[in-house]
Amino acid sequence: MNPETSLFAATDAEPSLSSAKTSGPTFEEALVDLDRVVRTLEAGETGLEEAIAQYEKGVHLLKHCFGQLRKVEMRISELTGLDETGKPTLRPFEHAASVEVKAEKKPRRAKESP
């Protein structure tokens, strides 16, 4: 694999969200690239080596996106109400799943008598 195009040639340092010039793609650019990688792999028209390279690129892009989301979540404050003076009270955002997954009920077998 060419070192200039190698997935691991990029640094693992996450870019600053507040800086105009970043060391990696923006969240949106990474998401578009990740979508392109998924479509390429789903098409199944690449050879094994290229598929592995695309998979590795996808993993890198996914980690990049999750890293940026973690940084943004840390910056979000939740409005919880107003204090006695009328100023808003805030608390740090706590991530929780927005959809609950319900366990399927499987039918029980009747016990066999001895």
Is 60 within a domain? yes
What total number of domains does the chain contain?
1
Is 43 within a domain? yes
Q: What percent of the chain has pLDDT over 70?
A: 63
Is 55 within a domain? yes
- Mean pLDDT along residues 28-37: 96
Q: Residue 72: pLDDT above 80?
A: yes
Is 11 within a domain? no
Its domain, for residue 72, covers: 26-80+89-94
Is 70 within a domain? yes
| Cβ–Cβ < 8 Å for 23, 15 | yes
| Cβ–Cβ < 8 Å for 83, 103 | no
Is 37 within a domain? yes
Q: What is the DSSP string of 9-29?
A: GS--PPPPSS-SS-SS--HHH
Amino acid at 96: A
Is 7 within a domain? no
Residue 47: CATH number of its domain: 1.10.287
**pTM for the model:** 0.53
